[in-house]
């Protein structure tokens, strides 16, 4: 039986593949997966425009447990991409 994955928490800056590319790849395998991005490099050069799609959550580091749980709950409660007409 295949496990259900509802959410992806990924860093924006990673070796070999950035978080946006990873999320796009995973979305092809698990359509509609919710994503929360995190980063400690908010001021560095990066195409943050890709993170400004409807429903995208960016959680800057450092963050508290409460901030993490709030971001995850917000993402999980957001409308599915398939029913979101803003895309």
Q: pLDDT digits over 7-38, tens only?
A: 999 999 889 998 989 998 998 998 889 999 99
Residue 39 maps to a domain: yes
Token reading at 60: 């800057």
Residue 22 maps to a domain: yes
Number of domain units in the chain:
1
Q: What angle do CA 83, 85, 87 make, to 5 degrees?
A: 105
pLDDT of residue 38: 93
Higher pLDDT among residues 69 and 84, named by residue: 69
- DSSP assignment string, the chain: -PPP--EEEEESS-SSS-HHHHHHHHHHHSTT-EEEEEES-TTSS--GGGG-STT-EEEESS--HHHHHHHHHHHHHSPPGGG-TT-
Residue 32 maps to a domain: yes
The pTM is what? 0.79
Q: Which domain holds residue 16?
A: 7-46+56-61
pLDDT of residue 13: 87
């Amino acid at each position: 039986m295949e496990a259900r994955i509802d959410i992806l928490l990924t860093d924006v800056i990673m070796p070999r593949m950035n978080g946006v590319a990873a999320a796009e790849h995973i979305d092809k395998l698990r359509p509609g997966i919710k994503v929360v991005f995190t980063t400690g490099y908010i001021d560095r050069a990066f195409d943050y425009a890709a993170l400004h799609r409807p429903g995208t959550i960016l959680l800057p580091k450092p963050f508290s447990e409460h901030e993490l749980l709030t971001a995850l709950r917000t993402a999980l409660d957001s409308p599915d991409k398939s029913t979101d007409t803003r895309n």
